[in-house]
Structure 1
Amino acid sequence: MFAPIHHVSLLTRFAKDNHFFYTTILGLRFVKKTVNQDNHKMLHYYYGDYAGTPGSVITFFVVPSLAQRYDKADFLSTIGLKIPKGSLLFWEKRLTDAKIKFTKKQNSLHFKDKDQVSLHLVEVEQEPLAKELQVNNSIPGDKQILGLLSTEFHVADPKKTADFFYRLIGWNSNRGKIQLNETDYIQLLSTATPDKTRMGRGSMDHVALSVQDEQKLDELYVKAKEQRWNIEKIVHRGYFKSLYIREPGGIRVEFATLTPGFTLDEPLSSLGEHLALPPFLEDKRSEIEANIYKEI
């Protein structure tokens, strides 16, 4: 069974610090360095397990001039990550050695990156990563991050957001929590301000949910149109095909297919080592490379 949360996408100002934190500290693989397909000046970083498996992926749009964010009426927040049972002490020591402040709560550790993205590592009853998905780094294979666990929707009316997920996908909400499988979940939380959210450093642009294949995605698109949800677009990103919808609170939700995957434009053994462009952008490489924002 595939992971229900396909990936999460955020904004970062600090490309080098971002890369260091998610690869050197958290031990994820840098699986793709490409561009934002809606703004080719903007780099798009992808991190995940060795193969960039859906359900393991965190992505960042790199914007060097990005200002402070203001989370107000509607926003996404928090990246929950799963770690194997018995690995919490290892991660506690690792964060301590890296001088990263954290709070320990039962079976979880809570901390932030330089962009003030809230993260937590949570022990779950799940086998360690398969060997072919383990990243070759200083973290033992049986302690490596398993994948995405959760995220939070902060909206004015959580009941409307819950109704969106129930009508479109059939997911039930219990006291604001949508349990996706034995471990993974989405939390719906109420905000109490009319002030508009301002995107900035560490903002989460969207959460992507997994859809088995293009046929299922097209069926979901038809259903969303029939139910008259706020559809932004359906588009093929190369690595997956995506449907973007604004749920009633205004938050962007992406539905993404499991394939073709990140080996579309570079071999598995060298993912993330060079600027990768899906085939439909390759003929624009010279122009794209000349205008990309500088990494800081």
Structure 2
Amino acid sequence: MSPLHHISLLTKNSRDNVAFYTQILGMRFVKNTVNQDNHRMLHYYYGDYQGTPGTVVTFFIVPHLGHRYDNDHYLATIGLKIPRNSIDYWENRLQDHQIAVIRKGKELYFRDHDDIQLILEEVDQLPLEEDHQVHNEIPGDKQILGLRSTEIHVKEPEKTSEFFEKLLGWQTNQQKIQFNETDFIKILPTDTQEATHMGRGGIDHVAFAVENDDALDRLYHRAQEQGWLIEKIVSRGYFKSLYIREPGGNRMEFATLAPGFTIDEPLETLGESFALPPFLADQRAEIEANIYPEN
């Protein structure tokens, strides 16, 4: 299993975002909820039919969000896997939707409305199991399998590599931490002292999967002992999360696999209503009244 859990980004337009990730990429809208650190901000989750960790991409909706400036440290690219014998289908589909796409071998490069670089790579894997396939026009044997990769850009890559090796035992080889045959992260150098500025399409964090609460607590204590910059450990309802800034300044999240997205709505109707985890349920009226308005 890949340790990738989810990737979270910023978008300025909820309608364009939903259309791109559900209608074009065919992901399921698995959760319509709120940013738990800012209750005025919507938080959308996309994934396979069950919202399985490792398939999930999330977006904070920030109306009127400005341009992003990727400079001294930032996260970039959403790498997604597609099953064997599906790349021609996806190249044609993207072109049919008037999306500029570049094909390099088994990879397709393209961008969404927020100028986010996406990469679809055909891998030698079977399609999703039937109970994980989304009910839409995309054939089950062509649907996106899940997350494959992302990039960590920092001024001093060796310090970020040391962070992953000391905390998790992950070794960097030629700027890459390879998790399995398909999945990886890259740690790449930046060449400017200009400060990064978050904006449209910026990646807020990448999250890695941790088996359960006990494993997360052990990781938390190890991070404390090693002196890393811990932001917080907190229950998000759908999972428990530990946030740490790696030495380059990018936010890393470590999230448990359970309990998942069905704690506040049934699997069959995930994403169809505005959902709040149980600890926010009694604030529903206030939260709904104060969501950032969109045009």
Please indicate the TM-score interval, normalised by the length of the shorter structure: over 0.9
Distance in 1 between residues matched to 2:249 and 2:88, nearest whole Å: 39
- Residues 62 and 295, structure 1, Cα contact 8 Å, conserved in 2: no
Q: Name the counterpart of 2:201.
A: 202
* Aligned: 1:50 with 2:39: no
* Aligned: 1:32 with 2:31: yes
Distance in 2 between residues matched to 1:143 and 1:173, nearest whole Å: 32
Q: Deviations over 1:76-131 (max 9, x none)?
A: 00000000011000001100100000110000100000000000100101110000
Q: How many angstroms does 1:295 deviate by? A: 3.8
- In structure 1, give the amino acid aligned to 2:13: F
Q: How many angstroms does 1:45 deviate by? A: 0.2
Distance in 1 between residues matched to 2:294 and 2:80, nearest whole Å: 26
Q: For 1:126, what is the secondary structure of its paired residue? A: coil
Distance in 2 between residues matched to 1:143 and 1:255, nearest whole Å: 29
Q: Name the counterpart of 1:180.
A: 179
Distance in 2 between residues matched to 1:25 and 1:294, nearest whole Å: 25
Q: How many angstroms does 1:293 deviate by? A: 1.2
Q: Name the counterpart of 2:143.
A: 144
Distance in 1 between residues matched to 2:224 and 2:201, nearest whole Å: 32
Q: How many angstroms does 1:189 deviate by? A: 0.6
Distance in 1 between residues matched to 2:98 and 2:119, nearest whole Å: 16
Q: TM-score, normalised by structure 2?
A: 0.99
Distance in 2 between residues matched to 1:182 and 1:222, nearest whole Å: 30
Q: Deviations over 1:184-217 (max 9, x none)?
A: 0000110011110000000000000000000000
Q: Name the counterpart of 2:4.
A: 5
- In structure 1, give the amino acid aligned to 2:227: R
Q: Name the counterpart of 1:65.
A: 64
Q: How many angstroms does 1:177 deviate by? A: 0.3
Q: TM-score, normalised by structure 1?
A: 0.99
Q: How many angstroms does 1:294 deviate by? A: 2.3
- In structure 1, give the amino acid aligned to 2:6: H
- In structure 1, give the amino acid aligned to 2:152: F
- In structure 2, give the amino acid aligned to 1:254: E
Distance in 1 between residues matched to 2:157 and 2:212, nearest whole Å: 29
Q: Name the counterpart of 1:250.
A: 249
Q: How many angstroms does 1:168 deviate by? A: 0.3
Q: Name the counterpart of 1:267.
A: 266
Distance in 1 between residues matched to 2:87 and 2:15, nearest whole Å: 27
* Aligned: 1:230 with 2:229: yes
- Residues 34 and 276, structure 1, Cα contact 8 Å, conserved in 2: yes
- Residues 3 and 54, structure 1, Cα contact 8 Å, conserved in 2: no
Q: For 1:145, what is the secondary structure of its paired residue? A: coil
Q: Name the counterpart of 1:165.
A: 164
Provide structure 2 residue ranges, at least 5 long, that are not aligned to the other structure. none
* Aligned: 1:287 with 2:286: yes
Q: For 1:254, what is the secondary structure of its paired residue? A: strand
Q: How many angstroms does 1:14 deviate by? A: 1.1
Q: How many angstroms does 1:182 deviate by? A: 1.2
Provide structure 1 residue ranges, at least 5 long, that are not aligned to the other structure. none
- Residues 6 and 209, structure 1, Cα contact 8 Å, conserved in 2: yes
Q: Name the counterpart of 1:119.
A: 118
* Aligned: 1:87 with 2:72: no
Q: Cα RMSD (Å) of the superposition?
A: 0.6
Distance in 2 between residues matched to 1:198 and 1:221, nearest whole Å: 28
Distance in 2 between residues matched to 1:43 and 1:7, nearest whole Å: 17
Distance in 1 between residues matched to 2:13 and 2:151, nearest whole Å: 23
* Aligned: 1:99 with 2:89: no
- Residues 84 and 145, structure 1, Cα contact 8 Å, conserved in 2: yes
- In structure 2, give the amino acid aligned to 1:226: E
Q: How many angstroms does 1:3 deviate by? A: 2.8
- Report percent identity of matched pairs: 62
Q: Deviations over 1:239-266 (max 9, x none)?
A: 0000000000000000000000000100
- In structure 2, give the amino acid aligned to 1:284: Q
- Residues 16 and 295, structure 1, Cα contact 8 Å, conserved in 2: no
